[in-house]
Copies of this chain bind each other. A is one copy, B any other.
Amino acid sequence: MIGSSGTKEVIMQDEIIANILKSANLSVTASRKKILNLFLSTNGALAHADIEQEADEKMDRITIYRTLQAFVQKGIIHIIPTTDNSIRYALCKDECSEGHHHDQHVHFVCSECHTTYCLEQINVPHVKLPSGFTESQTEVIINGLCAKCHA
């Protein structure tokens, strides 16, 4: 659900979503629209479990797995590394495309509420590697307390 916005906005959003799917060469189905909508209306990251809960109406676990896999492969979302053995996904920025993720922003994971924030504004600092090593992607994960969870 898009919240309390009017019908016109809902239709707009719906078309935006459909277009994202089409330009990724994915057919536009109810489950995909629902999951993509969830990502668009969340500014943090989502785990498989979150999606399973939110998309309350009957949607198979397996469909969620496959949808997420498809989205990752097509460059719509990307995986954020975690220490708790749970895969978290977040929307990609424009520079990402099929098979080529260029995600250079910092992720912040709150140790209290476990929300994952994408800090787009902040650039990933460049790190010099030992000789023989080449970088294709750098991920920065910062753990700590977010603004909401401060005492």
A residues sitting closer than 8 Å to B (CB atoms) are 79-83, 85-87, 106, 108, 111, 119, 121-122, 125, 127-148, 150
A142 and B147 contact, Cβ closer than 8 Å, known pairs A83-B79, A127-B122, A127-B125: no
In whole angstroms, what is the CA distance A92 to B138 when docked?
22
- B127, B133, B147, B148: the one contacting A140 at CB < 8 Å is B127
The CB with the most chain B CB atoms within 10 A, among A80, A125, A143, is that of A143
Chain B residue contacts of A145, Cβ below 8 A: 133-134, 136
A82 to chain B, nearest CB (A): 5
Chain B residue contacts of A142, Cβ below 8 A: 127, 129, 135, 137-139
- B86, B87, B131, B146: the one contacting A133 at CB < 8 Å is B146
Are A136 and B143 interface neighbours, CB within 8 A? yes
- B81, B131, B132, B148: the one contacting A141 at CB < 8 Å is B81
Are B144 and A133 interface neighbours, CB within 8 A? yes
Are A143 and B147 interface neighbours, CB within 8 A? no
